[in-house]
């Protein structure tokens, strides 16, 4: 049986993004948003039915985030949003994005990264008094089930529907308690809500329900193991006659293989991109039905169909399972939609790629070969094999000179000339910054006009001179604005950059960019990860022209802006034929070259962003040290070749820092800026606990929300920050880049931010 765990939501042309942003701009109303999003959801269901999959997921579609859907669907709404409960859509987006108006200014809920992906989820907030009500979840299920059932009926198909729910234990563990209570104490109450859905599913003739429990790949305490047993016994008792499909992913399930086979579930899903077939063998001997996630749901390379068939045939011959699903390793949420739209890609590279619709085709090819015999699809299998062979032989992939340069990296390349305690004095003398220096993270609003100019240049409808003149004018506007507002360290605003990773990828040999390879990051925010297909080289300096021009416009320090090696790696689709660490060091050398160019131009502050450093941390603790070792070394290779007088910054966002504080210290960046506003500076506790020695800029302006924090609110956040770090360490900045915001919001917020810094200076 062929299946997937979930499907991309945005649409082939980012239709959902456009709907959402039209709604937020009041160009369409809530009713139109719901109608248009329903049509998109039905289109996706229709595609999956036509693909021939035996069973398809429903209820995996979301207007913003599936965790937020669980929060609202089960009624776990924080008290501050209760006044909005009569208007569901307004409530939903106020929780996600915050809300500002003439008489109110509602903060958004906190966000964090979805395990080790670049997808952001809304963090549930619990107290010991939290109550759960499944009414809205049942409504959402009703819409998705009835829509899919109607399409199946119209097509005369036999496709089964499998509703998807975030599992109760993972739902609780993804959240946080705001009153010190234990989130697991809420499990009995939450289970009542989950069990209330069973009657509805029975009424709708649902045969199987999928419960996603990604926490099952972590090392679990005895308490959590017992909680899982209790939870799924309770669920199974309630869902009489309905099969429980338990899905876990993103790491090796071997760590809890004994536990999952003891749970009262019917089908166990294994992510076979992260688990081994040995784990699958072990579990298959102890369960009735299994789901084998053999198709990579997080990368874009074609599957090696012949190799998989050989393995699957051997596996199935050894086990007398009642049922075996062949599917994706995880939801296809993390993959682009359809590679057939990439008509501008190099034809040789394009044939190596598989996006979401192609992955569905791969699943169907495997299930056909397994059920009807490989000879029935021999031509298709041969085409896959030939593409794999051409990739292995390609001269575009391997460059001896790149491998040689990586082999020559030594310890000396990973160390600054002097320790931070000495560097900071030379940097103070050079930069002459005030106490509580103000800056921004890098990007400024990307207006429609900027995007229009970039697109025209890409289409070659304007000359390079016209493009350069336009970009320089945008840089001049940003510099003038920062001077007028009174910021202390300026940036050039990045008008020439489409994305902090894709921009560099387009300029490195060994990368390729797509036209429509969009993946959801959060809400309506989509990214288009470049693809690393071969060894990496840099033809010429990428940022020097723009940043040196910006520095010529001001006497204040101009910060050079670069993306770090781990983030470029993590936010790209990476090669699967060499270790990730090798690619990280290739990128590090190119970033090092870029830093050297900027330093020669007299740029005294250079920021090497690493927001994905924590994101790349393996979920299982025994794998941490290996990853952190090469991640830190790659950053230091990139950033350590400068003089003591050059101040190296880095930036991280939406991360839990406790696990990696030693690593952050080991990076040896002079200044780190972090996201902190939504958590009211709670993240700084880790920096205090570990006596972080260098300088820190905790964000005091949430750039993922349209609301504008007042000067007083920012002062309050800075006062909280001062409880954790010394004044001499404290920088003042937003949470992240300002690219997605409007100029009106940015202007007001940054003026308030500068006023907050001035207030603190006058009170010293």
Whether 475 is in a domain gets the answer: yes
Q: Do 464 and 730 touch, CB atoms closer than 8 A?
A: no
Q: Are residues 292 and 406 in the same domain?
A: no
- Given this model, what pLDDT does residue 763 score? 82
Residue 85 maps to a domain: yes
Residue 376 is assigned to a structural domain of this protein: no
Q: What is the CA radius of gyration of the chain?
A: 26
Q: Which helix (H) or strand (E) holds 176?
A: strand 176-177
- Asked if residue 601 is part of any domain, the answer here is yes
pLDDT of residue 273: 95
Tell me what percent of the chain is helix, strand and coil, each rounded to the nearest 5.
50, 15, 35
Judge if 515 and 605 occupy the same domain: yes
Q: How many domains does the chain have?
A: 2
In a domain, 351, yes or no: no
The reported pLDDT for the residue numbered 502 is 93
Q: Tell me: the pLDDT tens digits for 304-355?
A: 999 999 999 999 888 877 789 999 999 999 999 999 989 999 999 999 999 9
CA distances from 758 to 90, 205, 479, 715 (A): 36, 64, 20, 10
pLDDT at position 101 is: 67
Structure tokens at 231: 């939870």
- Is residue 731 within 8 A of residue 756, CB to CB? The reply is no
The neighbour count for residue 728, using CB atoms within 10 Å, is 10
Q: Could you give the CA distance from residue 740 to residue 17 in angstroms, rounded to a whole number?
A: 13
What pLDDT was estimated at residue 82? 86
Q: Cβ distance 126 to 77 under 8 Å?
A: no
In this structure, the answer to whether residues 447 and 569 fall within a common structural domain is yes
Domain end, chosen from 297, 314, 334, is at 334
**Distant-in-sequence, close-in-space partners of 196: CB < 8 Å, separation ≥ 6:** 134, 138
Its pTM stands at: 0.90
Whether 377 is in a domain gets the answer no
Paired tokens of 185: 């104490």
Q: CA-CA distance, 641 to 658, in Å (whole number)?
A: 28
281 and 417 inside one domain? no
d(Cα 235, Cα 61) in Å, to the nearest integer?
23
Evaluate whether residue 412 is within a structural domain: yes
Kindly list the catalytic residues.
704
Residues 6 or more apart whose Cβ sits within 8 Å of residue 468: none
Q: From CA 552, how far away is CA 569, in angstroms rounded?
A: 32
Pair 90, 214 in one domain: yes
Q: What are phi and psi of 167, to 5 degrees?
A: -60, 150
Query: For the chain, which residues score pLDDT lower than 50?
Result: none
Instruction: Count the alpha carbons within 13 Å of 175 in the hemisphere toward its beta carbon.
Output: 31
Tell me: do 312 and 406 sit in the same domain. Answer: no
Question: What pLDDT, on the 0 to 100 scale, is given for residue 680?
Answer: 78
In the chain, what is the straight-line distance between the N-terminal and C-terminal CA atoms, in Å? 69
Residue 568 and residue 439 share a domain: yes
For position 403, what pLDDT does the model report?
A: 95
Task: State residue 533 phi and psi, 5-degree precision.
Answer: -110, -15
Name the packing angle between helices 464-485 and 448-458 (round to 10°): 160
pLDDT of residue 288: 87
Question: Residue 598 sits in which domain range?
Answer: 400-762
Asked which of 334, 367, 385 is the last residue of a domain, the reply is 334
CATH number of the domain that 524 lies in? 3.20.20.210
Residues 615, 502: one domain? yes
CB neighbour list of residue 336: distance below 8 Å, 6 or more residues apart: 8, 300, 355, 356, 514, 516, 517, 518, 519, 528
Quick one: pLDDT at residue 531? 97
In 3D space, the residue among 301, 258, 306 whose CA is nearest the CA of residue 282 turns out to be 258
Q: Is residue 132 part of a domain?
A: yes
Which of 520, 613, 52, 466 minimizes the C-alpha distance to 332? 520
Same-domain status, 273 and 406: no
Res 31: pLDDT: 96
CB atoms within 10 A of CB 366: 24
Q: Quick one: DSSP state of residue 553?
A: T
CA distance 258 to 252: 13
Q: Which of 311, 334, 357 is the last residue of a domain?
A: 334
Chain-centre distance for alpha carbon 150: 34
State how far the Cα of 453 lies from the Cα of 462, in Å rounded to an integer.
Answer: 8
Residues 111 and 255 in one domain: yes
Confirm if 566 and 584 have CB atoms less than 8 A apart.
yes
Statement to judge: residues 316 and 406 lie in one domain: no
How far CA 421 is from CA of 426, 428, 538, 667, in Å, comes to 10, 11, 34, 15
Report the SS3 class of residue 723. coil
Instruction: Mark whether 303 and 411 lie in a shared domain.
Output: no
Secondary structure element (H or E) that encloses residue 305, with its range: helix 305-318
């Amino acid at each position: 049986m062929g299946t997937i765990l979930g499907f991309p939501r945005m649409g082939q042309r980012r239709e959902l993004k456009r709907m959402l942003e039209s709604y937020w701009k009041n160009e369409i109303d809530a009713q139109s948003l719901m109608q248009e999003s329903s049509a998109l959801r039905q289109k996706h269901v229709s595609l999956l039915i036509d693909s021939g999959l035996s069973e398809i997921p429903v209820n995996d579609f979301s207007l913003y985030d599936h965790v937020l859907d669980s929060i609202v669907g089960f009624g776990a709404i924080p008290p501050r949003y209760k006044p909005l409960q009569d208007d569901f859509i307004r409530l939903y987006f106020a929780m996600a994005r915050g809300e500002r108006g003439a008489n109110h200014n509602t903060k958004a809920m906190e966000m964090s990264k979805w395990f080790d992906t670049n997808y952001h989820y809304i963090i549930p907030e619990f107290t010991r008094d939290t109550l759960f009500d499944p009414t809205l979840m049942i409504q959402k299920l009703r819409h998705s089930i009835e829509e899919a059932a109607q399409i199946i009926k119209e097509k005369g198909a036999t496709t089964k529907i499998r509703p998807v729910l975030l599992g109760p234990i993972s739902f609780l563990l993804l959240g946080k308690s705001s009153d010190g209570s234990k989130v697991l104490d809420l499990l009995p109450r939450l289970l009542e809500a989950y069990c209330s859905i069973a009657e509805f599913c029975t009424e709708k003739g649902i045969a199987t329900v999928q419960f996603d429990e990604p926490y099952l790949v972590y090392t679990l305490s005895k308490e959590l193991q017992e909680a899982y047993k209790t939870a799924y016994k309770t669920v199974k008792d309630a869902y009489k006659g309905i099969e429980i499909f338990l899905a876990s992913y993103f790491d090796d399930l071997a760590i809890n293989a004994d536990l999952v086979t003891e749970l009262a579930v019917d089908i166990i899903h294994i992510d076979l991109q992260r688990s081994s077939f040995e784990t699958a063998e072990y579990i298959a001997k102890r369960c009735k039905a299994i789901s084998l996630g053999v198709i990579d749901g997080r990368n874009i390379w074609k599957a090696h169909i012949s190799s998989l068939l050989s393995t699957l045939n051997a596996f199935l011959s050894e086990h007398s399972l009642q049922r075996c699903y062949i599917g994706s390793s995880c939801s296809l949420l993390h993959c682009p939609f359809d590679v057939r739209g990439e008509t501008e890609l190099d034809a040789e590279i394009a044939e190596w790629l598989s996006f979401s619709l192609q992955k569905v085709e791969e699943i169907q090819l495997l299930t056909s070969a397994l059920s009807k015999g490989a000879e029935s699809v021999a031509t298709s299998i041969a085409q896959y094999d030939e593409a794999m062979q051409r990739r292995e032989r390609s001269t575009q992939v391997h460059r001896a000179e790149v491998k040689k340069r990586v082999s020559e990296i030594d310890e000396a390349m990973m160390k600054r000339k002097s320790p931070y305690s000495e560097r900071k004095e030379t940097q103070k003398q050079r930069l002459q910054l005030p106490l509580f220096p103000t800056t921004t993270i890098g990007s400024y609003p990307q207006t429609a006009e900027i995007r229009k100019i970039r697109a025209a240049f890409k289409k070659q409808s304007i000359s390079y001179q016209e493009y350069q003149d336009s970009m320089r004018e945008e840089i001049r506007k940003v510099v003038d604005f920062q001077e007028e507002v009174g910021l202390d360290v300026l940036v050039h605003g990045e008008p020439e950059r489409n994305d902090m990773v894709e921009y560099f990828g387009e300029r490195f040999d060994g990368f390729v960019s797509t036209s429509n390879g969009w993946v959801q990051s959060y809400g309506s925010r989509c990214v288009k990860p470049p693809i690393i297909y071969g060894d990496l080289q840099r033809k010429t300096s990428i940022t020097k022209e723009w940043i040196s021009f910006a520095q010529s416009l001001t006497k204040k320090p101009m910060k050079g802006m670069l993306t770090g090696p781990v983030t470029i790696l993590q936010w790209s689709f990476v090669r699967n034929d060499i270790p990730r660490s090798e690619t990280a060091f290739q990128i590090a050398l190119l970033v090092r070259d870029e830093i050297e160019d900027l330093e020669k131009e007299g740029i005294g502050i250079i920021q090497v962003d690493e927001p994905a450093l924590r994101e790349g941390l393996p979920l299982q603790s025994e794998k941490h040290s290996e990853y952190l070792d090469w991640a830190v070394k790659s950053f230091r290779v990139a950033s350590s070749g400068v003089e003591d007088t050059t101040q190296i910054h880095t930036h991280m966002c939406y991360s839990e820092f406790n696990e990696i504080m030693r690593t952050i210290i080991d990076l040896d960046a002079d200044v780190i800026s972090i996201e902190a506003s939504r958590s009211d500076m709670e993240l700084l506790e880790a920096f205090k606990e570990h006596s972080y020695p260098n300088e820190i800029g905790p964000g005091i302006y949430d750039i993922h929300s349209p609301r504008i924090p007042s000067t007083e609110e920012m002062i309050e956040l800075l006062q909280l920050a001062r409880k954790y770090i010394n004044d001499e360490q404290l920088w003042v900045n937003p949470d992240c880049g300002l690219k997605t915001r409007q100029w009106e919001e940015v202007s007001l917020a940054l003026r308030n931010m500068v006023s907050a810094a001035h207030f603190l200076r006058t009170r010293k």
